[in-house]
Amino acid sequence: MLQVTDIRENKEKYIKALAKRGIDAASVLEEVLNVDEERRSSQAQLDEVLAQSNSYSKEIGKLFQSGETQKANELKGKTVELKESSKQLNEQMVNAAEKLQQLLYTLPNIPNDLVPAGTDENDNEEVYKEGEIPKLVEGALPHWELAKKYDLIDFELGVKITGAGFPVYKGKGARLQRALISYFLDKNTSAGYTEYQVPHLVNEASGYGTGQLPDKEGQMYHVGIDDLYLIPTAEVPVTNMFRGDLLNNSDLPITCTGYTPCFRREAGSYGAHVRGLNRLHQFDKVEIVRIEHPDNSYTALDGMVEHVKDILRELKLPYRILRLCGGDLGFTSALTYDFEVFSTAQDRWLEISSVSNFETFQANRLRLRFKDTDGKNKLAHTLNGSALALPRVLAGILENYQTEDGIKIPEVLVPYCGFDFIK
């Protein structure tokens, strides 16, 4: 959530920055400032009325003590009027504050200066590429056919149990899935991230805290009777562990990792680009989250990018990194790097990680602050990244490691799997 004080001081800058997202925010920002002025005016008048009422109360006590009952009763009548006035002003202030909050919820984060202009994924900027694209045998299969051929994943069984987008992993497919989770967690913890096991459902306050609500309400599964939401990513519960906290400067950075299943109500679409593991309603992901001092957050972002690079190097998968343009940037993000692995059998790039810096956007919603060395309370910066999302990594492994005789297992995963080949 953007800060009103910043909007007031940098309105033109914010209008220009949000235009990079394709948003004409001039009228909304003006309304924000007008509503905030109403709130501040009501607050100032209320403070004045309360101060006057407090002064009268002290004077009334003295008048009664000195026997000036008539004057005391006259002032009591005025305090009744002030009480009614304070009630009305408080209501005006609360209404203005609620309206202000709702307006601010509609505004996305300000893009970092590095974010390129653009309207959609076609305008994203490739900033890095690594790894050789393997030459597959003639008749190489996409992962959904490999999964069926080697009895690794049963998509139809998932439809029977739940519906489309809820696959069932079997045998070596399940073991490979578990191996990836363990490997990712081990890589993250060895890099200094503390592992957490968190709830898979969150309350409404958590959804608002990290910015999934109200922006992505339609994409989240909602348990109505309990008013809880199935998590779309571990970012939500992990980051919300620090909601409302006032940290010490010495506490930073805070680095967390966690594995969770993720649940997303994606819009229905058809075709090869959403077949198999390409788009699911339930999938597994290992996440990394950082709480940083604002001075260090972009250095931390670069470190997270290097960390994900290292994982993909060990898996020996060809990948590239994109800097997302304004039109493709997530609602809460100031700067995002997407990692994509090349699917040789599908002849296309598949997104497998997003690494983002949210600056103070989430922290303002979360009221996540730290006491800086100057003694002032300041908003922290929050960051998160996938390390990694499993479905498309698994798809990339199945497709890029296939041979005429079966599927090789990346060397780094063999100790976790207990086998080196799928026949």
Looking at 48, 75, 106, which one is the last position of a domain?
Answer: 106
Residue 78: per-residue pLDDT: 77
Amino acid at 294: P
Residue 113 lies inside a defined structural domain of this protein: no
Residue 183 lies inside a defined structural domain of this protein: yes
Residues 131 and 60 in one domain: no
User: Which tokens go with 336?
Assistant: 């995002």
Residues 139 and 11 in one domain: no
Query: Residue 63 CA to chain centroid, in angstroms?
Result: 60
Residues 138 and 238 in one domain: yes
| CATH number, domain with residue 96 | 1.10.287.40
352 marked as binding residue: yes
Q: How far apart are CA 382 and CA 403, in angstroms?
A: 43
Amino acid at 68: E
Q: 321 with 116: CB under 8 angstroms?
A: no
400 marked as binding residue: no
Residue 201 lies inside a defined structural domain of this protein: yes
Q: 207 with 229: CB under 8 angstroms?
A: yes
The total domain count for the chain is 2
Nearest residue to 127 via CA among 114, 111, 118, 113: 114
Residues 95 and 154 in one domain: no
User: Which tokens go with 418?
Assistant: 């207990």
59 marked as binding residue: no
Amino acid at 270: Y
Residue 267: per-residue pLDDT: 52
Q: How far apart are CA 148 and CA 134, in angstroms?
A: 22
The secondary element (H helix, E strand) that includes residue 34 is helix 26-65
Looking at 42, 71, 106, which one is the last position of a domain?
Answer: 106
Residue 252 lies inside a defined structural domain of this protein: yes
Q: How far apart are CA 251 and CA 370, in angstroms?
A: 9
Strand partners, 223: 228
Residue 273: per-residue pLDDT: 63
Residues 8 and 156 in one domain: no
Please list the pLDDT of the chain residue by residue as tens digits (423 residues).
899 999 999 999 999 999 999 999 999 999 999 999 999 999 999 989 888 887 877 777 777 778 777 777 777 777 778 888 889 999 999 999 999 999 999 999 999 999 999 999 999 999 999 999 999 888 899 999 999 999 999 999 999 999 999 999 999 999 999 999 999 999 999 999 999 999 999 999 999 999 999 988 889 999 999 999 999 999 999 999 999 999 999 999 999 999 999 999 975 455 556 789 998 999 999 999 999 999 999 999 999 999 999 999 999 999 999 999 999 999 999 999 999 999 988 999 999 999 999 999 999 999 999 999 999 999 999 999 999 999 999 999 999 999 999 999 999 999 999 999 999
Residues 153 and 91 in one domain: no
Residues 98 and 179 in one domain: no
H-assigned helices in 316-410? 361-366, 390-400
266 marked as binding residue: yes
pLDDT in tens, 20-50: 999 999 999 999 999 999 999 999 999 898 8
Residue 238: per-residue pLDDT: 98
9 marked as binding residue: no
Residue 112 lies inside a defined structural domain of this protein: no
Residues 300 and 370 in one domain: yes
| CATH number, domain with residue 278 | 3.30.930.10
Residues 375 and 417 in one domain: yes
Residue 406 lies inside a defined structural domain of this protein: yes
Residue 271: per-residue pLDDT: 52
Residues 197 and 345 in one domain: yes
Residues 102 and 181 in one domain: no
Residue 116 lies inside a defined structural domain of this protein: no
Q: How far apart are CA 305 and CA 282, in angstroms?
A: 25
Looking at 106, 141, 175, which one is the last position of a domain?
Answer: 106
Cis status of the peptide bond prior to 388, with omega within 30 of 0: yes
The secondary element (H helix, E strand) that includes residue 407 is strand 407-408
- Report angle CA 78, 81, 87 to the nearest 5 degrees: 140
Q: How far apart are CA 175 and CA 38, in angstroms?
A: 60
Domain that holds residue 55: 4-106
Residue 54: per-residue pLDDT: 78
182 marked as binding residue: no
264 marked as binding residue: yes
Residue 216: per-residue pLDDT: 83
Residue 115 lies inside a defined structural domain of this protein: no
351 marked as binding residue: yes
Residues 85 and 137 in one domain: no
The neighbour count for residue 334, using CB atoms within 10 Å, is 26
